[in-house]
Amino acid sequence: MCGILAVLGCSDESQAKRVRVLELSRRLKHRGPDWSGLHQYGDCYLAHQRLAIVDPASGDQPLYNEDKSIVVTVNGEIYNHEELRKLLPNHKFRTGSDCEVIAHLYEEYGEGFIDMLDGIFSFVLLDTRENSYIAARDAIGITPLYIGWGLDGSVWISSEMKGLHDDCEHFEVFLPGHLYSSKGGGYKRWYNPPWFSEAIPSTPYDPIVLRETFEKAVIKRLMTDVPFGVLLSGGLDSSLVAAVTCRHLAGTKAAEQWGTQLHSFCVGLESSPDLKAAREVADYLGTLHHEFHFTVQDGIDAIEDVIYHIETYDVTTIRASTPMFLMSRKIKALGVKMVISGEGSDEIFGGYLYFHKAPNKEELHMETCRKIKALHQYDCLRANKATSAWGLEARVPFLDKEFINVAMSIDPESKMIKPDLCRIEKWVLRKAFDDEANPYLPKHILYRQKEQFSDGVGYSWIDGLKAHAADHVSNKMMQNAKNIYPHNTPTTKEAYYYRMIFERFFPQNSARLTVPGGPSVACSTAMAIEWDAQWAKNLDPSGRAALGVHVSACDPTAPPLIAAGTNPGVLINKKQSMMEVKKAPELTINS
């Protein structure tokens, strides 16, 4: 991932303004430590902080068309750029960057080219011929983007809030799947798939089609000129990503450069469920596995940095981001710059445990639609910003456009959880990869039940956070919470603690409005309560609210590797080092 910042129509062409734009752009340098660039055209500035994944030698930005009349700054990966270049035979390319096609496609097709892009992206394009500009964000919002407005009439666009929040009168999240045009003066949606209307689909479930589409999604994400690996928690989603990557790595350009043995990475407290499960999957697949340990105190010490980087006060997001933030630093230290991850599967297939309570296929489908539409505020935000904090890029094949269209066109009756038929959550995905002749994974991994990431790294992690917050937030503070924080009033001491830190970094009203409202929104507790009133008794926005269904999985001959257990309590060992690495061999690069 890279960092982009654009200041458009600021009515100030002075050197002082250029210096200010450079200063703000440097706040995004963690996203792109490899190079920086700035293009100024009159009162418009396009800045870029580059993380070089494809064409590290010549792909510096901003990028241009032939006569430099069109300028673009991009954060993203365009996986079909080679096919798109074939549609532009009369255009001359300056670099091997996958993102350069954006400038030429605009020159050839105008604003209507965006849906031709297969990949993830946020970009700002300046057309100096017409003194106009457009900005766009990818379909699901995998890459972060914010838009703001200055008192002088300027428009600001940045990968993160920290690039614009001090200089804008108002700012907000740039909507995923949207285009912002200076000609039109506002947004218009460019991404309009059939599922977006939440109409109930009726395509029969075909496991082969689903499997092949996912494999294509993984394969295209092997486009890299730098060392890479996979994040492996040992759960279904990350294990499938690793299994498919291992199968298709041989013969790719990545394998020719870096070797055919895949690197996998896992993080957790000592003896956590994820560490055990990931180790077993890694042994089965033959990956070069790196296991990182952290303590509860290590995570607590990192909370302020985490909130600064991920720019939210949402409880579940912070809980899950912290281990990922710590792991990303270690991964980058090994020389890796890109990882493939398993985000998005639970939203598409109804994988969260409260989906056990879905009363019918119609409500299940509509809830999956709502979950996908909200991903940019939760899991996409976490995966992108927690890794980008250390100049690491995360790619998410479950959120591939084609794969989503295939998966969301399946008759949701097939996604319904039916224990009497041995169909647990995400049964359609598990069944698609249940290949007896050539197994992708062991049965008990393939049918391992959902484990919330913030629990999977160690059950004492959440309890340690709650205990720490209780030491810093008094009962009197909670009594006055609605007066201090009238918007999105925190309902727990943990939420209050995170909110205090967030407001210190981002005190503007616009900043607090970028975080979705209401308690437990991230796991749709409101919907769970609507489906089963008993869930109202548990206000914790995590998988723990599903204790009644977090039990044995479907196949009686293949029980899940991890079952729900009692809480082992809070264990904080301050004597341990920041991040112990157990059995983590040095990264080797095969030429």
Q: What is the DSSP string of 63-96?
A: EE-TTS-EEEEEEEEETTHHHHHHT-TT---SS-
Q: Let me know if domain 3-192 sits in CATH 3.40.50.300.
A: no
CB 578 within 8 A of CB 590: no
326 CB contacts (<8 Å, ≥6 apart)?
Answer: 267, 292, 294, 298, 299, 302, 579
Length of the chain: 591
Q: What is the average pLDDT score of the chain? A: 89
Residue 575 confidence (pLDDT) above 90: no
Tens-place pLDDT, residues 13-28? 889 999 999 999 999 9
Q: Where are the domains of the chain?
A: 3-192, 201-582
Q: Which tokens go with 89?
A: 């035979």
Q: What does the alpha-carbon distance between residue 99 and residue 59 come to, in Å, rounded to a whole number?
A: 8
One-letter amino acid of 410: I
H or E element, residue 453: helix 453-456
pLDDT at 83 over 50: yes
Reported for 59-64, long-range contacts at CB under 8 A and 24+ positions apart, including other chains, are 59/95, 59/96, 59/97, 59/99, 59/100, 60/35, 60/95, 61/2, 61/37, 61/97, 61/99, 62/37, 62/38, 63/94, 63/95, 63/97, 63/99, 63/100, 63/102, 63/103, 64/94, 64/103
Of all residues in the chain, the percent with pLDDT exceeding 70 is 88
Asked if the model's pLDDT at residue 419 lies above 80, the reply is yes
pTM above 0.85, yes or no: yes
Give the DSSP H or E segment for 288.
strand 288-293
Q: Cα–Cα distances in Å, from 88 out to 100, 119, 241?
A: 12, 18, 33
The span from the CA of 291 to the CA of 278, in Å, is 9
Cβ atoms of 432 and 543 closer than 8 Å? no
Q: Which long-range contacts (CB under 8 A, 24 or more apart) does 183-186 make?
A: 183/130, 183/132
Distances (CA, A) of 346 to 93, 343, 354, 517: 40, 8, 11, 21
Q: Residue 333's CB: how many other CB atoms inside 10 A?
A: 12
DSSP H or E run through 123? strand 119-127
Distance, in Å, from the CA atom of 569 to the CA atom of 478, rounded to the nearest integer, reads 24
CA distance linking residue 206 with residue 217, whole number of Å: 17
Give the pLDDT of residue 451.
64
Q: Is the pLDDT of residue 569 over 70?
A: no
pLDDT, tens digit, for every residue of 154-181?
A: 999 999 999 999 999 999 999 999 999 9
Residues 6+ apart with CB under 8 A from 17: 7, 10, 45
**Please, what is the Cα angle at 144 between 142 and 150, to 5 degrees?**
155
Residue 540 has pLDDT above 80, yes or no: no
How far, in Å, CA of 410 to CA of 195, rounded?
10
Domain 201-582 is found in CATH 3.40.50.620? yes
Q: Give phi and psi for 265, each to the nearest 5.
A: -135, 135
Per-residue pLDDT for 321 more than 90? yes
Residue 527 pLDDT > 90, yes or no? no
pLDDT digits (tens, 9 = 90+) for 35-64: 999 999 999 999 999 999 998 888 889 999
| In the predicted structure, residue 571 carries a pLDDT above the cut 50 | no
For residues 353 and 548, give the distance between their C-alpha atoms in angstroms, rounded to a whole number: 9
**Residue 457 pLDDT:** 82
Window from 98-112, 250-264, 476-490, 562-576 with minimum mean pLDDT: 562-576
**pLDDT level of residue 567 (50, 70, 90 thresholds):** very low
Sheet holding 3-8, edge to edge: 35-41, 44-50, 3-8, 155-158, 146-149, 170-173
Q: 45: which residues sit within 8 A by CB, 6+ positions away?
A: 5, 6, 7, 8, 10, 17, 18, 21, 38, 39
Tens digit of pLDDT for each residue in 429-477?
A: 999 999 999 999 999 899 987 666 556 787 799 999 999 999 999 999 9
User: Where in the sequence numbering do the catalytic residues fall?
Assistant: 2
